[in-house]
Amino acid sequence: MKRVVITGMGVISPIGNNINDFWKNIVSGKSGANEITKFDANKFKTQFACEVKDFNPEEYIDRREIKKYDLFTQYAIAASDQAIKDAKLHFDTMTDDEKADIGVIWASGNGGIATFEEQLNEFHLGDGTPHFNPYLIPKMIADIAAGVISIRHKLYGPNYATVSACASSNTAIANAFDTIRLGKAKIMIAGGSEAAITMASVGGFNAAHALSKNNENFKTASRPFDKNRDGFVVGEGGGALILEDLESAQKRGAKIYAEIVGSGMASDAYHLTGTSPDGHGAYLGMKKALEEAQIKTDEIDYINAHATSTNIGDLSEITAIKRLFENQPINVTATKSITGHLLGAAGAVESIISILSINNNTIPATINTKTLDEAISESIQIVLEKSLKKEVNYVMNNTFGFGGHTVTTIFKKFIN
């Protein structure tokens, strides 16, 4: 099997639209939450979210082209362009044969939900005559961001989307990892984007009792593992990674951020939206990732937890960690306390955090959590309020999605 490394990263997020700003705000624990500005939320139970700020698509896309793309695709273009530039990939100088070894796997849990919602509203406000935008379908479908990235750079390798709810972009990364390991491509652009702060999305999550309703204290509403947590804070944005065959990366003298050494997928097989209280799916996913990485639990320096700040979900994950790590001390952080929950983009954005933790020997803190749930044992060392400086060699990144999807990836400090 070929070794796979990370040679580029890009991000659009509620706390920064480039890697440097993003990491600075992660380490300082700056909340990305704000009152919703994308629509009038006064009648909604939840009136706040983690919106992307100061995003200008014209920095990445010709003004005449912007109308062709839903916001989730605009985020995908921006994040992937950043990652390509960071990796110093110059596609315009490559032959078609070389570009046949470069592919894209891009994820989104909701795709162009804003476009779909907007078009239906316009239809219902009219006289019933169907006048739909000719770009409706290509703006809406979840696979279109992968296609656009491929078309944009004339990349002829594997190209598709992954949809596994909030595990979607971690699935994309795991699939890209396997694609390169098996020799089916040399370079893969993998990640995910989401732009689901819409009336239907917020209203739907409210109806499912998934969102925090702490409108008076929205900056601190995302509080994973806190005994008083009351749901997640929805976010938006995108994260992109360049995964590359080690031989290819070394041949072109690329900067190597980290190595990806394992992934594990499983299913809770339990409930449409709820996580199994015993965390069996999470346990299996983490276990499989460790086995593939050929390492033991005591080699993991930190877990970037899926922990969204829901009552059952947080404890389900803790139960799985306790079972797998058998009371060995382990540092755990929930960075959704800072970014909010980016849904299908969460896995990619949190993979970037995991990789930057390795590069900076820093474990970010979980913010807003004041009183830990009594069910969390002493062996689970939740990093609270202040980032922790320590040697970080291996990071485990967990993501789980509605439908029972569980995906874990493991990143390692690169050693030649």
Q: How buried is residue 93: exposed, middle or buried, by Cβ count under 10 Å (0-12/13-18/19+)?
A: exposed
Query: Tokens at residue 395, please?
Result: 């990071």
- Residue 108 CA from chain centroid, whole number: 9
How would residue 274 be classed by pLDDT, with cut points 50, 70 and 90? confident
pLDDT at 129 exceeding the cut of 90 = no
Give the pLDDT score at 389.
97
Average pLDDT, the chain: 97
Q: Which residue has the higher pLDDT, 256 or 274?
A: 256
Pairing of strands 102-107, 159-162: parallel
pLDDT at 125 exceeding the cut of 90 = no
Pairing of strands 330-333, 102-107: unpaired
Closest CA relative to residue 14, chosen from 32, 35, 40 = 32
Q: Residue 242: in which H helix or E strand, if any?
A: strand 237-245
- Distance CA(188)–CA(153), nearest Å, equals 13
Q: Give the residue-averaged pLDDT of 69-82.
A: 98
Q: Residue 241: in which H helix or E strand, if any?
A: strand 237-245
- Distance CA(310)–CA(275), nearest Å, equals 10
Catalytic residues, which ones? Answer: 166, 306, 341
Mean pLDDT lowest among 66-70, 106-110, 373-377:
373-377
pLDDT (tens digit per residue) in 362-392: 999 999 999 999 999 888 999 998 999 999 9
38 φ/ψ angles, rounded to the nearest 5 degrees: -75, -20
Instruction: Say how many residues make up the chain.
Output: 416
Q: Which residue has the higher pLDDT, 327 or 399?
A: 399
pTM (2 d.p.): 0.97
Q: Give the residue-averaged pLDDT of 66-71.
A: 97
- Distance CA(336)–CA(306), nearest Å, equals 8
CA angle (342 as vertex; 181, 80 as ends), nearest 5? 50
Q: Give the residue-averaged pLDDT of 205-216.
A: 97
Q: Are 222 and 309 in contact (CB under 8 A)?
A: yes
* Three-state helix/strand/coil letters over 286-315: HHHHHHHHCCCHHHCCEEECCCCCCHHHHH
Q: Just give the CATH number of 262-412.
A: 3.40.47.10
pLDDT at 410 exceeding the cut of 90 = yes
Share of the chain above pLDDT 90, in %: 93
pLDDT at 200 exceeding the cut of 90 = yes
For the domain 4-251, what is the CATH superfamily, name and number?
Thiolase/Chalcone synthase (3.40.47.10)
How would residue 128 be classed by pLDDT, with cut points 50, 70 and 90? confident
Q: Which residue has the higher pLDDT, 124 or 403?
A: 403
Q: Of 134-138, 324-328, 395-399, which one has max mean pLDDT?
A: 395-399
302 φ/ψ angles, rounded to the nearest 5 degrees: -170, 145
Beta-carbon count within 10 A of 286 CB:
29
Q: How buried is residue 372: exposed, middle or buried, by Cβ count under 10 Å (0-12/13-18/19+)?
A: middle
113 φ/ψ angles, rounded to the nearest 5 degrees: -65, -35
Could you give the residue range(s) of every CATH 3.40.47.10 domain in the chain?
A: 4-251, 262-412
What are the angstrom distances between the C-alpha of 309 and each of 194, 196, 234, 341, 388? 19, 19, 11, 9, 21
- Rounded CA Rg of the chain: 20
pLDDT at 294 exceeding the cut of 90 = yes
Give the pLDDT score at 416.
85
Q: How buried is residue 123: exposed, middle or buried, by Cβ count under 10 Å (0-12/13-18/19+)?
A: middle
pLDDT at 216 exceeding the cut of 90 = yes
Q: Give the residue-averaged pLDDT of 98-113.
A: 98
- Distance CA(8)–CA(129), nearest Å, equals 48
